[in-house]
Structure 1
Amino acid sequence: MGKMKCELVHKKIFRSTALMLVASLVLTLFAFVQEAQSAASPRTGGSYYNYGEVMQKAILFYKANRLGDLPDDYILPYRADAAMTDGKDAGLDLTGGWADAGDGIKFTHPMSYAAGQLGWAVYEYRDAFEESGQIDDILDEIKWATDFFIKAHPSPEVLYYMCGYEASDHSVWIPHELLDYRTDRKSFVLNSKVPGSDVAGSTAAALAIASLIFEKTDPEYAEKCLTHAKQIFAFGDKYRGKNPLDTLYPSGGYMDDLAWGAIWLYIKTNDSSYLDKAKSVLPTTVLGGGHTHCWDDVSYGAALKLAQLTHEEGYIKAVEKNLDSWMPDGSITYTPGGLAWLSQWGSLRYATTAAFLAFVWSDDDTVCTASKKQKYHNFAESQVNYALGDNPRKGSYVVGFGENAPEHPHHRTAHGSWTSQLTTPDYHRHILYGALVGGPGSDDSWKDDIKDYMLNEVATDYNAGFVGSLAKMYDMYGGDPLENWPQPEDFKAPQDDITEYFCRGWIIYEGYGATNIMFQLNNRSSWPPTMKDKLSVRYYMDLSELFEAGKGLEDVSITLGDNQGAKLIGLKQYKDNIYYFTVDFTGTQLMPAEWELCEKDATVSIKYKDASIGSNENDWSYKTLTGPPDYDATSFAGLTPYIPVYDNGRLLWGEEPAGGSPQFTYGDINDDGGVDAIDFALLKKILLGDKPDNANMSAADVNDDGDVNAIDFAILKSYLIGSITSLPK
């Protein structure tokens, strides 16, 4: 009996183990199948991502592309005023608006599409923006664009459609802040002789939508937008024709844009003439499937609104014919991972914008075919979730959001090159939060490569439909936007040591009481990128051995050799036996734009009359100097903090010798020991732009506020005439 029990037990264990193995295999197979299904079918019907956070970031992207006069406390620490000369060639102020993409050109047509699309999202899903706390942010971005459209429309039959142009802008790879210095910001205009009904119709639509969404918060501005929308639409309708752009944004036609402008003017005004106009320029016979709403073809959006407003069967069928083409059983190509793929250029912008149309349509029970409602809805969710991570690479396509997100978008300012090269540096100095990159190829393949502008381009029109789809996802599934975000450090790439201004130095020659030193002043600024034309460096010397030998300053000579726009300012006392000379590049522009512009060189010879007495080895600035020079503008070789950099006489980078600040008297600009009329005359010259070589700029900053200006002039004058009895010490 014992033996039988033992055998039975062994059989039970064997059967149990076998069952467990089978179960394990089944679970593994199930997981594999699920994973395969997930790769082929992005998820729907649930909250899989933080839609509040990604919407917050997708809106923030627009701030990265702003041009014009930005606030001093701008939320993006790597951005500053840019393209401030726009319109000057036409005698106008055309500053503002958005740079189109990773470049710096400003196009009214795609910008108006993007602003109109964002406005449409607010029109449809305002509650989502309000509940997520994003309504003020998105309205602010839309207004930044519509303010530009108003500027671009200085009279009823004039509309500017571009600032900057391809040949000039695309010849450099520089941050937006340097566009005025390195590119031609020529402006281009539409008028009765140069028509552009496509640009006019799209711009009229954007302004009409703005007039609708600003009714609640700023009725006066809403009315202003409406006035311009009406005039621009009338201009585009009167002088019909395509805009003259033949590259970058060549228009495919203008009837769709006129329909788009007319339908929104009808929604705003209830003037039936606009509805009649929309129907006449967009008959149902010209509508088809296979594409979607985008900057160059807004017929799909216009047809959708016409169908909702008129309930005419022709428009309803046209809308559903288009949406049907985007379904898995339609005519659009699907990637193996489940992306509805239309084009290699911005595949994700098309899919997420088609998703927005599907959301809006399926939300409307009065027009959407009941049996198709869920199908359209599921399609829209799947495309958004694909972009956020439901794809074969298990990665987000939104910079700064989710897992395995892009780090190398094709965007000049986020990259932050100081040599105008895509390869320098080999990482991005800033995180371009919220930017939707172009997206994968038809086989789901994608590479995070700044040079691949087809797959990694970002643009204002790319994000526009995406934001609307995210608002709907938030409306359904929620998600918390980040609190107290962003902070300045959020935008710093971890690889960057934040060294923006510095000096590199090398010993060229040394011997027989003489030392030749090469100074290389660098501007690799990126927080924000800034042109500087008042930079200088100082070399600090310890002359103790000279004075102890009974010698004086006349026994050492400092001479300037080969240089790129430098001046030499002779020895000045710093403290005790420590003196310094200045290599001053004031008047020479340094900017992070090209090799030749981001760095400037100067050689200086230090020579002692008695070679046995003079020595540089105890000089503060001699420390770490080596040779020979390294001319690689991508490296930090030779960097020495002991040769400090100054901006207009104020320490910008580096370390001064211990012992306090340089000895000078405020107001004693010529360092002669007194404050008198000579100093007053020097200050006047400085303010007129004629800075003398012997001017102590720190002393010229009489009120010590960091700037030499008319206030210092007034204070010094008051002191000299006796109105005040003292100056800052």
Structure 2
Amino acid sequence: MEKNNNNILNELQLQTIPRFSLPSNSLLLLPLVIPIFTFIFTSTATTVSAFDYADALTKSLLYFESQRSGRLPYNQRVTWRDNSGLTDGLEQGVDLVGGYYDAGDHVKFGLPMAFTVTMLSWSVIEFRDQIAEAGELEHALEAIKWGTDYFIKAHTSPNVLWAEVGDGDTDHYCWQRPEDMTTSRHAYKIDENNPGSDLAGETAAAMAAASIVFKKTNPHYSHLLLHHAQQLFEFGDKYRGRYDASVGVVKSYYASVSGYMDELLWGAMWLYKATDSDNYLDYVINKSHCFGGIGWAITEFSWDVKYAGLQLMASKLLAEDKHKKHTHILEQYRSKAEYYLCSCLNMNNGSNIDRTPGGLLYIRQWNNMQYVSTAAFLLTVYSDFMVSSNQQLNCHGGTVDHEEILSFAKSQLDYILGSNPMNMSYLVGYGSKYPTRVHHRGASIVSYRENKGFIGCTQGYDNWYSRPEPNPNVLVGALVGGPDCQDNFMDQRDNYMQTEACTYNTAPLVGVFAKMLQLQDQNPSQSLVASY
């Protein structure tokens, strides 16, 4: 992620309920933009040119192999990549080899990496059968495990978690392949004296969610992940503080604008899902007010802001009889989840998420697609929940059924795959027209497997960065930042606001592609679409 990716445009679009007392680390309040484009739904099935969701699913999982750090496995399919970061942690006397590079650079940032793994795991939890039916379950499990194996290494003792390897400032002075790295690989940690409740909470969520994924197929590993998740949650809750205050080098890249309260609630929710222990549910219930869980009504779900995902998960608990005693609080969680969903659907009485003229959800100009993919995921999950619980969604603009929600999620997916004014697929490698000059060091330089000659720090800038030609390596499955508010997109390597891709952009798509593929297979000649 290029410098100031989050700093310049990290304002949150949100609303609070009346008389809600903000915590001391409260988020910035900004007025919501009233969208000028309306979306009208039809539940009538309409024939459209079908997208190849099976191909999109396969490619989305391939992307994670491009982002691997460490010693690559024998079955590595992305052959233009090779081993890298093999001395990570050596300077600190700890093994931190492995994990993922977050984007087009080579820093291993803990918070977005953990969110990526949480979303991959949630995709498998919700859509395991569909992913398996497509023949991609093994690849999905490998993508998750590559992250959780690293988290196990990074959690070296109950109250120590290594938060980052490398630093963005020195990394961004260089344009090198990961295999040639000469930049600092200094590692940074959080501990009792340098807390990071947001990072500990999200990593606990990732490991708890993954423990559910592996529970039947690899019970020993599942138990190990759960053990780490519980320790991390306890550490994050006991020693509270924002991780960017302890790890200063992360502030220009992944500053924790929302604070740590959402991650602690999020971590507790995932631990409840993994353990069925009332202790974790009580945490989500008892701290619902003071930690903002039932206070914040949010219009984004991202690596930084977890409230919408938490609220949706909490609202699903209402369908189970054993949670009746918590109905009052869970209803308030559901109210906030519905606020997010209705904002996506443009039915929230003025406080909606803006749209481009082509119909794409638009939150901010820097890497906007991350918010689109998370929205498509939450909408799809909630649509399924509405079917299973026989419910409808009540918005200020009217009542919405599950088909209408799913049709809008599909419209966002189809925009990504090419149904947009640019006729451009923003999923790299999919379709006939997609970004070819992705802002990505490894993809933009000749493969190490083809040319093992060392490429230096500035040599990469001089010889490769400014080349007008397409990248020599295709970053298949990467979801780039995407178009601007008018659906315009410039496929240029230096246009990192639009052409850089991140792991957390693609992760939510895995489950949604699988769901759409299932629906397509069930009714190949027709598909739900949203019309303008």
Structure 1 length-normalised TM: 0.58
- State the SS of the aligned residue for 1:246: helix
1:309 maps to 2:330 = no
What is the alpha-carbon distance in structure 1 between the residues aligned to residue 384 and residue 313 of structure 2? 13
Q: How many residues were matched structurally?
A: 439
Distance in 2 (CA, whole Å) between partners of 1:81 and 1:153 is 23
> Deviation of residue 329 (structure 1)?
4.2
Structure 1 residues 46 and 317: CA distance shift in structure 2, 3 A: farther
CA distance, structure 1, for counterparts of residue 122 and residue 48 of structure 2: 25
Q: Report the Cα offset of residue 41 of structure 1.
A: 9.7
Q: Could you tell me how far 1:362 is from its partner in structure 2?
A: 1.4
1:141 is matched by which residue type in structure 2? A
C-alpha distance in structure 2 between counterparts of 1:443 and 1:282, whole Å: 38
Worse-superposed segment, 416-425 or 130-139: 416-425
Match of 2:252 among 238, 241, 247: 247
More deviation in 203-212 or 357-366?
357-366
Task: Quote the Cα distance in structure 1 between the aligned partners of 2:391 and 2:502.
Answer: 31
TM-superposed CA distance for 1:472, in Å, is 1.7
Residue type of the alignment partner of 1:383: Q
2:505 aligns with one of 450, 462, 474:
462
Give me the CA root mean square deviation: 2.1
Q: 2-side partners of 1:286 and 1:47: how far apart?
A: 42
Gaps of 5+ in 2: 1-36, 245-249, 320-329, 394-398, 447-454, 523-532
Contact 1:62 1:460 in 2 (8 A): yes
Contact 2:121–2:206 under 8 Å retained in 1: yes
Q: Confirm or deny: 8 A CA contact 1:398 1:435 kept in the other structure.
A: yes
In 1, Cα distance between equivalents of 2:152 and 2:331? 37
Distance of aligned partners of 1:447 and 1:309 in 2 relative to their CA distance in 1, 3 Å threshold: same
Q: 1:415 and 1:40, CA in 2 relative to 1: closer, same or farther beyond 3 A?
A: farther
Q: Deviations over 1:685-717 (max 9, x none)?
A: xxxxxxxxxxxxxxxxxxxxxxxxxxxxxxxxx
Structure 1 residues 393-432: Cα deviation after superposition (integer angstroms, max 9, x where no partner): 1121111101311111111101116421111473311111
The letter for the 1-side match of 2:416 is A
Per-residue deviation at 1:468? 2.4
- Supply the distance in 1 between the matched residues of 2:375 and 2:508 (Cα, whole angstroms): 8
- Equivalent AA in structure 2 for residue 359 of structure 1: T
1:87-98 superposed matches below 5 A: 87-98=89-100
Structure 2 SS opposite 1:189: strand
> 2:102 maps to which residue?
100
TM-score (norm 2): 0.79
Counterpart selection for 1:337 from 331, 334, 358: 358
Residue 286 of structure 2 is matched in structure 1 by 280
SS of the residue aligned with 2:254? coil
Q: CA deviation at 1:178?
A: 1.3
| CA distance in structure 1 between the partners assigned to 2:78 and 2:468 by the alignment | 20
Shift of the alpha carbon at 1:281?
Answer: 3.5
Q: Is the 8 A contact 1:104 1:169 kept in 2?
A: yes
- Residue 188 of structure 1 aligns to which amino acid in structure 2? Y
Identify if the C-alpha distance between structure 1 residues 218 and 72 changes in structure 2 by more than 3 Å, giving closer, same or farther.
Answer: closer
Aligned residue number for residue 289 of structure 1: 298
Distance (whole Å) between structure 1 residues aligned to residue 185 and residue 470 of structure 2: 28
For 1:441, the equivalent position in structure 2 comes to 484
Q: Deviations over 1:258-299 (max 9, x none)?
A: 1111111111111111011123344354221322x2100111
Cα deviation 1:344-392 (Å, max 9, x = unaligned) = 1222221121011011111113284253223322211110011011101
Q: Identity of aligned pairs, percent?
A: 39
What is the rounded CA distance, in whole Å, between the counterparts of 2:286 and 2:427 in structure 1? 40
Q: 1:236 to 1:46 in 2, by over 3 A?
A: farther
What secondary structure is seen at the aligned counterpart in 2 of 1:92? coil
Residues 367, 157 of structure 1: CA spacing in aligned structure 2 closer, same or farther, 3 A cutoff? farther
Residue deviations 1:587-631 (CA, integer Å, cap 9, x gap)? xxxxxxxxxxxxxxxxxxxxxxxxxxxxxxxxxxxxxxxxxxxxx
Q: 2:299 is aligned with what amino acid?
A: G
2:400 is equivalent to residue 372 of structure 1: yes
* 1:361-440 equivalences in 2 (<5 Å): 361-365=382-386, 366=389, 368-369=391-392, 371-373=399-401, 374-416=403-445, 418=455, 419-421=459-461, 422-424=465-467, 426-440=469-483
Larger RCO (CA under 8 A, 6+ residues apart): 2
* Structure richer in strand, relative to its length: 1
Matches within 5 A, 1:175-574: 175-179=177-181, 182-244=182-244, 245-252=250-257, 253-283=259-289, 284-291=293-300, 293-310=301-318, 312-330=330-348, 331-365=352-386, 366=389, 368-369=391-392, 371-373=399-401, 374-416=403-445, 418=455, 419-421=459-461, 422-424=465-467, 426-478=469-521
Residue 234 of structure 2 aligns to which amino acid in structure 1?
A
Q: Distance in 2 between matches of 1:41 and 1:437?
A: 28
Following TM superposition, by how much is the alpha carbon of 1:338 offset from its aligned partner in structure 2, in angstroms?
Answer: 0.9
Matching residue of 2:67: 65
The 10-residue stretch of structure 1 (329-338 or 234-243) with the greater mean CA deviation from structure 2: 329-338
The superposition leaves residues 16-40 of structure 1 with CA deviations (integer Å, 9 ceiling, x where unpaired) of xxxxxxxxxxxxxxxxxxxxx9x99
After superposition, the C-alpha distances for 1:648-703 in whole angstroms (9 at most, x for unaligned) are xxxxxxxxxxxxxxxxxxxxxxxxxxxxxxxxxxxxxxxxxxxxxxxxxxxxxxxx
2:467 and 2:103 map into 1 onto residues whose CA distance is: 20
- What is the distance in 1 between the residues matched to 2:496 and 2:391? 37
| Secondary structure of residue in 2 paired with 1:93 | coil
Q: Which has the higher helix share?
A: 2
Query: Cα distance 1:448–1:368, how it changes in 2: closer, same or farther (>3 A)?
Result: farther
Summarize deviations over 1:452-502 as a string: whole Å, max 9, x none: 0101110111111122221221121149xxxxxxxxxxxxxxxxxxxxxxx
Question: In 2, distance between residues paired with 1:351 and 1:94?
Answer: 32
Partner Cα separation in structure 2 for residue 101 and residue 286 of structure 1: 33
